[in-house]
Structure 1
Amino acid sequence: MYRISKEFHFSASHQLGHLPQDHQCARLHGHNYIVVVELAAPALNADGFVRDYHELAALKHYIDTCFDHRHLNDVLDGPSTAENLARHFFDWCRERWSEVAAVRVSETPKTWAEYRP
């Protein structure tokens, strides 16, 4: 299996208001997010790629337009957790590229959430 990945960055605020009031994530705060999309294929295409990285520019445009410097509670349905972001980006990417295997989202340098069916 061949695997490729590409990393994207954005900054956004969110608030997990369903958590107890004394939980730090219940307060309004922000993160510098990292999104990594992974694509996989058992064979390479005629150009020798799983998929041309240039084609993934659509994800950058989507992130820049809809997520960067936004309040995620206004963008997502459901809690604006890293786990839900990973699933959201996975579904968005999978509609466009059949090779999408997983999406990882980081809120901090030490934490990652991944959605992989």
Structure 2
Amino acid sequence: MFEIEVQSEFCAAHALQIGGVRETLHGHNWRTVATLQGPSLDSDGLLCDFHTVQELLHAILAPFNNRSLNDAPPFDRLNPSAENVARHIHAELSSRLAGLPGDVRVASVSVTEAPGCRATYHTTHDHGGTTR
């Protein structure tokens, strides 16, 4: 199994709902790490071109950059926690990778909102072997 990681950053604010109380709006320099896996390499010896993954991540993150996550779909209706941000990026990247050749999948996406504060969403498999 081969694995690559691609990092990207964006700047955004958010205000979480915790225990029914909304936090004060505050900003972060968010760092994302997408980990991709696959069993084989293409004819160029690549699992997936780093630049392709960077472009996909940039397109996914661009709507959030320099704005409040609370105002940007899907976080205008979903608590913009690091966990939910990681899950959203994972789903979007998985969907966009499905259109590319090869057998590469998103293994995980980690989101760091502040030093020492990271959330990760992993691909899961049900008992039938289906990836979710």
Q: TM-score, normalised by structure 2?
A: 0.79
Gaps of 5+ in 2: 99-104, 124-132
Equivalent residue number for residue 113 of structure 2: 107
Q: Is 1:29 matched with 2:26? A: yes
Give the conservation status (yes or no) of the 8 Å contact 1:8–1:34.
yes
The alignment yields a C-alpha RMSD, in angstroms, of 1.5
Query: What count of residue pairs does the alignment treat as equivalent?
Result: 113
Opposite residue 23 of structure 2, the aligned amino acid is A
Q: How many percent identity over aligned positions?
A: 35
Find runs of 4+ consecutive structure 1 residues off by over 2 angstroms: 17-21
Gaps of 5+ in 1: none
Equivalent residue number for residue 58 of structure 1: 56
Give the conservation status (yes or no) of the 8 Å contact 1:10–1:69.
yes
Change beyond 3 A, Cα 1:6–1:72? same
CA distance in 2, matches of 1:58, 1:91: 12
Change beyond 3 A, Cα 1:18–1:110? closer
CA distance in 1, matches of 2:86, 2:59: 17
Q: TM-score, normalised by structure 1?
A: 0.88
